[in-house]
Structure 1
Amino acid sequence: MNELMSHTTDMGQAEMFSKDWYNEYFRRAVESRAHSRFCEAVYGRDLCQHGMMDIEEMEFLATLLKPGEKVLEVGCSNGYISEYLHGQSGCDILGLDYADAAIAQAQARTRETASLNFRCADLIRDELPDGDYDTILAIDSIYFMGDYNKTLAKLNARLKPGGRMLIAAFQAREDDEPETILQPGHTRMDKALQTLGFTYVQHDFTRNIREHWIKNYQYSHTLQAEFTAEGNAFLCEARMAENGWFKDHAERGTLVRFLYVIEHNPALA
């Protein structure tokens, strides 16, 4: 994510991807008709997303979850994806995010659902909630949690024996990096998992992410006037600040994405 941050523009708001920035984003997005149309066009379904997982990948992820299992989701935003996964699988989800405005939205919608809960947490500074989990989800959130090795060990420590982590992550290649960094088994995530001795499999969603960023670029421009007319130019500018960099990588073939299914490693516990 550091490569992306060096390419983003000055938004004139809080630092991009900070807690304040995400709070502003989701306060606006949940009420925005233009944002709803954007999500439907780009992701295939409007779940008030700000991420990279399209509906095809989300449906596949839902098949990996089991009824009644205890799931911890780190980086849940305002919980619409959590609700979708909960509805599709019947699992019990606790979602965490540091954006308190997003968490408040999720709590307000789901307060009557006992098996779907949300809590504010800074995933770098705070300890994860006590309790052992069957599954830990990290959908495009691990980039924000610091060092991959430390983060993976921290998540692993909250898994039950026999549990697993489901982590969705992209990998881009800059000009000074080897082409092998895009290959299965050679990404930064792969290297961290191998260093820590994890057993895992990865599912390739590279086609999806490349199509995603081309559509993201297209529809942010197509809907720009609509965003502006409703007073939400911020939302459109936020998308444009990142999607040019990703679109360039998508078109050059220097962007890949994998969903990693990672077995609990008792040696790290």
Structure 2
Amino acid sequence: MNELMNHTADMGQAEMFSKAWYNEYFRRAAESPTHSRFCEAVYGRDLCQHGMMDVDEMNFLTTLLKPGEKVLEVGCSNGHITEYLHEKTACDILGLDYADVAIAQAQGRTRDKAATLNFRCVDLIQDELPSGGYDVILAIDSIYFMGDYNKTLAKLNARLRPGGRMIIAAFQAKEESDPDTILLPGHTRMDEALQSLSFRYVQHDFTTNIRNHWLKNYEYSRKLQSEFAAEGNAFLCEARMAENGWFKDHAERETLVRFMYVIEHNVDLMQG
């Protein structure tokens, strides 16, 4: 992730992924017809996305959730994917994000669903997570921003009820200093953290999806560049281009993998 941050800074996006940056992104994206076209082309469905989960991965995720489960989603952006999961699974979901503009959009759009679908502005590093004994905690492309993997996993585990589970989607890239094995199942940095904390888990491979995603992301950001500019939203296109060159390079070199981890609650870690 450090290599990506350096790359985006070199592209003139030094504040990328900050709260202010995400607020500006979702303020613009919510009103941008070109962004809708981009999401449809790249993800397979327009849900105002700014992550890596395509429609196939999202639909697989719905099969892991059961009606009535109490779900906490950390890093929900403006909640379109959260709302989709709620609609497909009939779970009781609370979505968290630190971008207050995105949360305000989600709250305004889903006000009539507040009995079982809610959103709250929370800084996932600075603030305490809401308590409540969750059946499932989702972290889809958000765990990178929460600090040390081991500390974050322990923090999330503490909010699960006994028998609950975490579902975490995360990519792994290989840089020159990394061993070749870092791309293998069981050997990524997420695997290392889970194993060091004695979590039991299974992982599902979405490597083909993420490589295809970044090739399309690169292609359509450039194909739609003039349309973004014409509507006054060059910022949205520049944001995509700042990161997708780095990912496209890894996708073409096959030094990029992605897994969805389904992790059992670790009672021993709680007691420790």
TM bucket normalised to smaller: over 0.9
Partner SS for 1:215: helix
What CA deviation, in whole Å up to 9, does each residue of 1:124-182 have, x standing for no partner? Answer: 01000021100000000000000000000000000000000000000000012111000
C-alpha contact 2:13 2:239 (8 A) present in aligned 1: no
For residues 244 and 266 of structure 1, the distance between their equivalents in structure 2, rounded to whole angstroms, comes to 42
Whether 1:166 aligns to 2:183 is no
Segments of structure 2 that go 5 or more residues without pairing to the other structure are none
Aligned to 1:249: 250
Cα gap change, 1:14 to 1:23, in 2 (>3 Å): farther
C-alpha contact 1:14 1:21 (8 A) present in aligned 2: no
Partner SS for 2:126: coil
Q: TM-score, normalised by structure 1?
A: 0.99
Aligned to 2:120: 119
Task: Count matched residues.
Answer: 269
What CA deviation, in whole Å up to 9, does each residue of 1:3-56 have, x standing for no partner? Answer: 210111456677110000000000000000000000000000000000000000
For residues 46 and 68 of structure 2, the distance between their equivalents in structure 1, rounded to whole angstroms, comes to 26
Aligned to 1:146: 147
Partner SS for 1:7: helix
Whether 1:54 aligns to 2:54 is yes
For residues 103 and 235 of structure 1, the distance between their equivalents in structure 2, rounded to whole angstroms, comes to 19
1:100-111 residue pairs with structure 2 within 5 A?
A: 100-111=100-111
What CA deviation, in whole Å up to 9, does each residue of 1:226-269 have, x standing for no partner? Answer: 00000000000000000000000000000000000000000111
Whether 1:82 aligns to 2:71 is no
Letter in 2 for 1:156: N
For residues 22 and 14 of structure 1, the distance between their equivalents in structure 2, rounded to whole angstroms, comes to 13
Cα gap change, 1:249 to 1:75, in 2 (>3 Å): same
Superposed displacement of residue 196, structure 1 = 0.2
Moved over 3 A (4+): 9-14
Letter in 1 for 2:86: H
1:5-44 residue pairs with structure 2 within 5 A?
A: 5-9=5-9, 15-44=15-44
For residues 129 and 12 of structure 2, the distance between their equivalents in structure 1, rounded to whole angstroms, comes to 33
For residues 257 and 54 of structure 1, the distance between their equivalents in structure 2, rounded to whole angstroms, comes to 12
Q: Identity over aligned residues, as a percent?
A: 81
For residues 177 and 149 of structure 1, the distance between their equivalents in structure 2, rounded to whole angstroms, comes to 19
Letter in 2 for 1:17: F
For residues 193 and 207 of structure 1, the distance between their equivalents in structure 2, rounded to whole angstroms, comes to 23
Q: TM-score, normalised by structure 2?
A: 0.97
For residues 12 and 222 of structure 2, the distance between their equivalents in structure 1, rounded to whole angstroms, comes to 19
Partner SS for 2:112: coil
Superposed displacement of residue 86, structure 1 = 0.5
Letter in 2 for 1:73: E
For residues 13 and 58 of structure 2, the distance between their equivalents in structure 1, rounded to whole angstroms, comes to 31
C-alpha contact 2:9 2:15 (8 A) present in aligned 1: no
C-alpha contact 1:42 1:216 (8 A) present in aligned 2: yes
Aligned to 1:68: 68
Superposed displacement of residue 112, structure 1 = 1.1
For residues 256 and 112 of structure 1, the distance between their equivalents in structure 2, rounded to whole angstroms, comes to 39
Letter in 2 for 1:33: P
What CA deviation, in whole Å up to 9, does each residue of 1:80-118 have, x standing for no partner? Answer: 000000111110100000000000000001111110000
